[in-house]
Structure 1
């Protein structure tokens, strides 16, 4: 008899052997089962216990001795029915877990990338990357630089940069320190730029766009640090918007 289907529904080889052995013996103690099935005595009792729990074997006690017997073969259908019920229950539990699993998967999947741009040409490339990353018509957020914005080379740099930005119709919301209002209002007012000033001691040289946060340092050799992380960018964006509420035009 081909018993492969019984393995497919979850019975072990030992369970199948003992079940068919009991069908032949009708009613038996453990010793004849060991002899006929060829299964060691140490494994017979645990296997019989499993079959009892599955409803495929029962027993009677005669003179304080257990006699085991195979249950009606139709109980195999009941065994399958019970498995179906359990699977349906487990499926329901898994369906409840899926949103949480997906959330964890999404968080785990998100990679945090860090890129460093060195030298003036490197920083220019980093700024060009902002314009290449942001879709046309969208906006980004800036905690501007400090008094170094008065430098002629930086004024030239930002004139060229904002010309490209305006061509792409990208908007920028910018917060500057109140201390540099005069410099900023004189040299750094461009189309599509909304500026507000704050007296708070805020970070400077921070550019928040899409899933990225770029920090620019101009002292010494110009350097730009770009971290790509949605969570990080969202936190900076939320912080910016909170400061924006109290900053003054």
Structure 2
């Protein structure tokens, strides 16, 4: 029968020596460490290490003194404690695995968001999740709504960098005024927003069409990487235009208009994304 109980205790995470020591105390207690070793067959060189492990786990109790004595937690209480710990671990595992599964799904999916209010709500969630850096291309109209969220992120230590379309002033972020400013709205026929948080998730889309606005949110690296790098390359261009505007415009026209026309596919040189 003892062999069966040994196996049962091993299934409850007891080592062989721990099982022997606990059963010896169930048969007779309280006992000194020396007596537990003698009654259980656990080597005396190991007994105090074994008893300490049982005590830390809450399987036995120790009475302090010059010669400590040990007594077991009753078997029913031991099983009750083990069941409680197991249930807690199962609940934690269920929650953690579900979150991991959802996160893994998020990393592979691209989610469509409809409506300007809904898009901005997702942008705010993205901003709140950032721990290191936020890169955002935004018009002043949307910036006014997002300003409190961006400020809160900056106050928590997040680096906030803004490519601003229109006059945006900020005392908490690095602001780069786009060299075309408001003129680009006419060329594109609308306003967009692009946000990258910690180089791990992005929101990008059209925000000026009210309920018909469209954007995508994703953690898919196949989109996060190129979209983030496009923002960074825009920042490169802002820096270059700041220092060498005259030279650039001498080569490519005012506000680089000749470059924009070179790569346009429409006779009016406007963009026709919004149809």
The verdict on a shared fold, with TM-score over 0.5 as the criterion, is no
Give the TM-score taking structure 1 as reference length.
Answer: 0.40
Q: Greater CA radius of gyration, 1 or 2? A: 1
